[in-house]
Structure 1
């Protein structure tokens, strides 16, 4: 039996089938109501023709006229209510389905260990928004397609009862229109898919630019970066113009073909009435239907385009949702208060790195090469799957590969030096889940108290996206406060004080040591204040631990260490 992890990736068509299958109820209800709407729209000229025919009879009466007017009122009421409630059902299902796919794509984006997607964050964002919306449109498209078929069928039957040639004209004309437009819709699908890909790449380029704008300004690389974005953006614009032209051609062709069919029905009915083969009431009905049938024909002819757009978006979502897993996480959970053991790990610049941090210990690692610090943080943060490096990382004696990603993140938190700041408030950045009981302590330990006191709103002060209204030091302290407020069993801090002054750094080091007393803490840093606050310091040089002692003993006995950390 094939396991879920080894199954062949599902294409976009399976995503569309899933969307249709779980919205069967809403689509059935919406189809019935929209079918009533289209039938009512089509019945109006039929009823009008019958009324005209009745008024021309010698035996007409006011009672019959009142009944006819009452019938028109019923038809109009049916049209109004069925449209209102039918669209409400379908749009609710559409919106809900789009939300489901957005959540699913976002969940894959938040599982970097379990998924290997060759897409940048900006592209995944586009897939989770625009593509999710367009894929969910299939829930609304199918009922509209069926209801349009109902309108065309009712019109064909009514005209066929008046004269068989009129009914056949509608049927043959509809088939011809759909055959021509189906060819055009294929080009729309391929063009739209290419446009979405180019827009996504432009979005990814913007995300990269925003992230690295300050460093780019620092060495004068911003102009080259802007030029690169301009090139990608121009390609996206040109493709958007191409898609607009194709869509315009499609819409124009559909409108022209529908108008030709309506004119053909009107002229044929007029000729039949002139020849005396249909009466005046049937002529009125035929002319009215030729006008009313334009709307369902327009909807009917546009559906292939929306189906192709939904298919193209579903194929893009499949790039994320069906990507083969890098590794299959385990299901185990470490015990609370476990120690951290790095056992002969070889990855990047790390060469058989080995050390242990006992439960409740405060250990600092002084890296002589920044790249080694980044590689170690990546391994501990599980951004590198266990099978991608030699050796093992254990929590409480259990290999990371045996544990679920959720369990690892619950017990082990690695706070990067460039922690992301979100749009919201200081409070929501420090405690995103709203469940932390140590927010005041975390604010005080990270020396964020001055930022809180500076604003009248306090912790409810608004923070812009990426902390645009905060200084570099404030963003770093806010990120540190979030890590401390999480109060995890094992906390790893990577260069948490590089953007703060020496006095603040000294206070933060003392506060962190005090707040984390009895909890396992590992700090990867070259900060003398943090190194001095640690129980012991491990020197990481050329990918291995070369020395171990307290900060002050190392300063007194190790000249290389003194040169590396002294300020």
Structure 2
């Protein structure tokens, strides 16, 4: 990939230029072949006119046989040029669409600045429909050029019969395209709004699916459905508006093209009646008048497709040009380093300060859920350095100086609502297929009963979002994935809230044993996890108020005992 292609495009026009430049070779070959197709189509009525002319004049079987052979050559040229031309263009089209889908998906996986109003459902629509419609420009341009070739050949052929016929085709084509280009702008603006509303509807339904269980829990599913129905209705109404404009465009194109063909036919008839053109030229003119409607129709539709491609490209630019949460550095943390939070002020956190040396197992007991959530957001990289005061250091290096890849390789933050993907138990635990600690992680997370329950074991199928697993099974599967990664620094947020007390006790001991010698931070109020940790930090009112072992805190701190004792 060149430097220009690796730099994120900033505008829809830049995306289209990149697509055209990258496929210049395929488009050139496709344009030549499609031009041959259109030239062959145009040559057919011309050949018929010449056949009639020679048949009336020569009346010989040899001339007739030669004419039939010429028609066969024309038909063969038309067939093969269309077949191979469209094959080249469609291959380039789908390949280019694939490239943009992958690039948009890659950007969608990166955290972006919070002022960019893009939801996951919108990114999904952009990465599929908009990527496909943008890549259509690869076919649009060659078809546009080949249609222009057909119109020019028709104009030249008619002009050789009579100059006024050629001028009529040229003037009529200019008038048709000028009228339709004005109408295509309205379709383009309407399409952009339709795409935005469809994407919002997609984002809404994605949010509903993600929160379906809690919605059912408090009876909010009906209200949520009404909310989605309203957004979907807005998308439908906009689609109807675009369809009306599209229908008016198509009707106007058909009427204008038919009017031009009729004008050419009538003028040719008048010229033949006056004896200014021959019978063969009349046949040619009538045939070309009928034929020219197809390339004109195709030619007149191109502005609409260009506007749609541009609208889709502009939506893709929203994702590709979205600023990242932080500008990554180039340094790497020390391999044996721990984690340090130094005087951080963010959200409910105020001058938060603590240090976890390498190899220590520390639990953080947050008295308020919001404080725990803010700390997890801070450590996971969702908050840019400029959005908080203070410094976070990983392996002795400030996060602002580290590359995103280095942070992710060194520290893993596993949220309380870890996502479960469609696939198998194994693919959820070890997505890359290169993990060496899958058996140990399965045992430590107490997922062994789930594996043993099914004949396929780790290859047991998992539905989207873990729909065929219980809440505790999903949570243990997410924990197994975090443990299997074997990150030098592991941060777990409430990893056992959905499991029973006995299982929780076993998991806490297993984590301490498996992670011995590795830096581990557990943000939780679970007595079992607090007891398994080397020490406990108490987070209250945005600061660390005290620290000690769990058992010492139970005996000496009444507030702590009331907060965590069950």
Q: With structure 1 as the length reference, what TM-score do the two structures score? A: 0.96
**Offset at 1:479?**
0.9
Q: Give unpaired runs (5+ residues) of structure 1.
A: none
**Offset at 1:487?**
1.1
2:52 alignment partner in structure 1? 52
1:152 alignment partner in structure 2? 151
2:534 alignment partner in structure 1? 535
The separation in 2 between residues aligned to 1:492 and 1:328, in whole angstroms, is 23
The separation in 1 between residues aligned to 2:29 and 2:334, in whole angstroms, is 51
Q: Is the 8 A contact 1:113 1:385 kept in 2?
A: no
**1:326–1:481 distance in 2 versus 1, CA, 3 Å:** closer
Q: Any idea what SS the aligned residue of 2:436 has? A: coil
1:227 alignment partner in structure 2? 226
Does 1:322 find its partner at 2:321? Answer: yes
The separation in 2 between residues aligned to 1:265 and 1:462, in whole angstroms, is 66
Q: Any idea what SS the aligned residue of 1:342 has? A: strand
2:425 alignment partner in structure 1? 426
The separation in 2 between residues aligned to 1:244 and 1:455, in whole angstroms, is 51
**Offset at 1:363?**
0.9
RMSD of equivalent CA atoms: 1.7
**1:395–1:131 distance in 2 versus 1, CA, 3 Å:** same
Q: Any idea what SS the aligned residue of 1:277 has? A: coil
After superposition, what is the alpha-carbon deviation per residue over 1:93-125, rounded to whole angstroms, capped at 9, x for unaligned? Answer: 111222222222222222215685221111121
**Offset at 1:379?**
0.7
Q: Any idea what SS the aligned residue of 1:56 has? A: helix
**Offset at 1:554?**
1.5
Q: Is the 8 A contact 2:325 2:382 kept in 1?
A: no
The separation in 2 between residues aligned to 1:131 and 1:140, in whole angstroms, is 15
Does 1:88 find its partner at 2:87? Answer: yes
The separation in 2 between residues aligned to 1:164 and 1:461, in whole angstroms, is 76
Deviates more, 1:24-33 or 1:443-452: 443-452
After superposition, what is the alpha-carbon deviation per residue over 1:45-90, rounded to whole angstroms, capped at 9, x for unaligned? Answer: 11122122222223x4333332222221221111111111111111
Does 1:397 find its partner at 2:388? Answer: no
2:268 alignment partner in structure 1? 269
Q: Is the 8 A contact 2:325 2:383 kept in 1?
A: no
Q: Give unpaired runs (5+ residues) of structure 2.
A: none
Q: Any idea what SS the aligned residue of 1:414 has? A: strand
Q: Is the 8 A contact 1:108 1:115 kept in 2?
A: no
The separation in 2 between residues aligned to 1:84 and 1:489, in whole angstroms, is 57
**Offset at 1:8?**
12
For residues 136-535 of structure 1, what are the structure 2 equivalents within 5 Å? 136-535=135-534
Q: With structure 2 as the length reference, what TM-score do the two structures score? A: 0.96
The separation in 1 between residues aligned to 2:325 and 2:448, in whole angstroms, is 42
The separation in 2 between residues aligned to 1:48 and 1:82, in whole angstroms, is 21
The separation in 2 between residues aligned to 1:441 and 1:44, in whole angstroms, is 74
1:25 alignment partner in structure 2? 25
Q: Is the 8 A contact 2:147 2:295 kept in 1?
A: yes
Aligned residue pairs total 561
After superposition, what is the alpha-carbon deviation per residue over 1:182-223, rounded to whole angstroms, capped at 9, x for unaligned? Answer: 111010001001111111111111111112222222222222
Q: Is the 8 A contact 1:113 1:382 kept in 2?
A: no
Q: Any idea what SS the aligned residue of 2:57 has? A: coil
Q: Is the 8 A contact 1:9 1:324 kept in 2?
A: no
The separation in 2 between residues aligned to 1:80 and 1:459, in whole angstroms, is 53
Q: Is the 8 A contact 1:98 1:136 kept in 2?
A: yes
The separation in 2 between residues aligned to 1:526 and 1:76, in whole angstroms, is 79
**Offset at 1:432?**
1.2
Q: Is the 8 A contact 1:50 1:281 kept in 2?
A: yes
Q: Any idea what SS the aligned residue of 1:258 has? A: helix
Q: Is the 8 A contact 2:110 2:324 kept in 1?
A: no
